[in-house]
Amino acid sequence: MGFSKWVFLICSLLMISQKPIFCLTPKQVSEIPINFLNFAKKSEVFDWMVGIRRKIHENPELGFEEFETSKLIRQELDKMGIPYEYPVAVTGVVGFVGSGDPPFVALRADMDALSIQEMVEWEHKSKNPGKMHACGHDAHVTMLLGAAKILQEHRQMLKGTVVLVFQPAEEGGGGAKKMIDAGAIKNVNAIFGLHVNPVLPMGEVESRPGPLLAGSGFFEAVISGKGGHAAIPQHSIDPILAASNVIVSLQHLVSREADPLDSQVVTVGKFQGGGAFNVIPDSVTIGGTFRAFSKESLMQLKQRIEEVIVGQAAVQRCNATVNFFSSEKPLFPPTVNDKDLHNHFLKVARDMVGTTNVKEMQPLMGSEDFAFFQEVIPGYFFLLGMKDGKTTKPAFVHSPFFKINEDALPSGAALHASLATRFLLESNSEIPLLNIHDEF
């Protein structure tokens, strides 16, 4: 049977069964990413996305405080006629595009900003002192809204439902976990997320199957001794000396206890104690982060960090208490990409940007709370390049000089929409597009 007759037969059967009809050939499926990208590049769509991104950038909000950002998202979804649930996990929004029936695939964007004073002087600089979108979340929200517009305009192609997850508090607040607890991804079969990369060239994307980003946790310890005059240290119990020994010992956890082939990091970034040159303080506070690519290694590090801090403090006659911020800053699991979704990503991304522009990246010790979704359902996370040819050394994320290349907005929106659309098409058991070949 010829290919066209095969497609005609399937469509005829769907007519008889009174199911919604929108049949595509494999060639048409492969053209979806380029068609979506061309749609997103239309001047009216591009200008709309730029306007949204700049509004969000001017009004950065910290985790679980994204009320104005959430309001803007809901206003735009209302204009597009896309239903949604709100509030989800305080400020989160969950929208729905498609048939309303299974299968369900989710796209996620984080909304929160950072406690950083913006140093970039431009027309749309942050209007909230001490707060800045220095990690690109303003672009992430914009790209997901752009994907929503693409999907809504092409909703007849959706063989299922796309769930739009606008998530609060990615920057240490564990907003993804709270979204899960609130039912944001109930019945969802898979989820995709992206992050802009200022040092990856525009037009390129990168990711990998398996471990991509490390899991991470935070710790803070208060080491208490006995204060006194610096000239007579024998009458004091010096917590600064104890803390110094603690920090050195913590570095041994990686160099002498971890498998050299199992990458781990322990970093102390906070040391506070004393306020005078000639006074030994009563206590010292230290704090830091620990990271690993497996949950087992992460839990082992957590256990040993507490043991080392308490034990080394005791050697110096001090007491120590350790706080891992379990409720405020939950332990982030490693970001581990599903292998089947990686193959799906490769097909879709190559159809949009070309094979040579899809890179396999090395794992990074940075962390991402998208990993909470991946603990529950198959998930896939990737990086989107936005470096232009003019900037030799762009500022990296979490820098007060970080800037977004707005030319990348259409690519992020189109890739989001393409991944979801083709996932639904290829997941639909009634039209197994991936099994239809010309030789039929």
**DSSP H stretches of helix in 67-202:** 67-80, 137-153, 175-181
pLDDT of residue 431: 44
Tell me which residue of 205, 296, 308, 291 sits closest to 248, measured CA to CA: 308
**Mean pLDDT of all residues in 350-354:** 98
Supply the mean pLDDT for the chain.
92
Establish whether 11 is an annotated binding residue. no
Residue 215's nearest CA partner among 329, 322, 369, 341 is: 369
What's the fold here for domain 215-323? Answer: Alpha-Beta Plaits (3.30.70)
Q: Is the pLDDT of residue 103 over 60?
A: yes
171 is in an annotated binding site: yes
The structure tokens listed for 181 are 């607890």
* Widest Cα–Cα separation across the chain: 96
Is 137 labelled a binding residue?
A: yes
pLDDT value of residue 22:
60
State the Cα–Cα distance between residues 119 and 399, nearest whole angstrom: 9
Residue 10 has pLDDT above 90, yes or no: no
pLDDT band at 367 (very low <50, low <70, confident <90, very high): very high
On whether 398 is known to bind a ligand per the annotation, the reply is: yes
pLDDT > 90 fraction of the chain, expressed in percent and rounded: 88
Pick the CATH number of 3-213+334-435 from 3.40.50.720, 3.30.365.10, 3.40.630.10, 3.10.310.10: 3.40.630.10
Band of the pLDDT at 330, cuts 50, 70, 90?
Answer: confident
Q: pLDDT, tens digit, for every residue of 21-65? A: 467 888 999 999 999 999 999 999 999 999 999 999 999 999 999
Mean pLDDT of 153-166: 96
The burial of 403, by beta-carbon neighbours within 10 Å (0-12 exposed, 13-18 middle, 19 or more buried), is given as middle
Span 114-126, pLDDT tens digits: 999 999 999 999 9
The span from the CA of 36 to the CA of 357, in Å, is: 18
pLDDT at res. 5: 43
Helices of type H across 322-439 = 339-353, 371-376, 409-427
For residue 207, pLDDT over 50 is answered with yes
Q: What share of the chain is helix, strand, coil (3-state, %, to 5)?
A: 40, 25, 35
Q: Could you report the per-residue pLDDT of 173-202, keeping only the tens digit for each?
A: 999 999 999 999 999 999 999 999 999 999
CA distance 17 to 355: 39
| 399-423 confidence digits (pLDDT tens) | 999 999 999 999 999 999 999 999 9
What are the domain boundaries of the chain? 3-213+334-435, 215-323
Per-residue model confidence as pLDDT tens digits over 246-300: 999 999 999 999 999 999 999 999 999 999 999 999 999 999 999 999 999 999 9
Q: Are residues 296 and 284 in contact, defined by beta-carbon separation less than 8 angstroms?
A: no
pTM of the complete model: 0.89
Among the listed residues 326, 323, 319, 324, the one whose alpha carbon sits nearest the alpha carbon of residue 243: 319
Q: Answer whether residue 440 shows pLDDT above 90.
A: no
Picking from 55, 77, 79, 78, the residue whose alpha carbon sits closest to that of residue 68 is: 55
Predicted confidence (pLDDT) at residue 69 exceeds the cutoff of 90: yes
What would the pLDDT profile of 75-100 be if each residue is shown by its tens digit?
Answer: 999 999 999 999 999 999 999 999 99
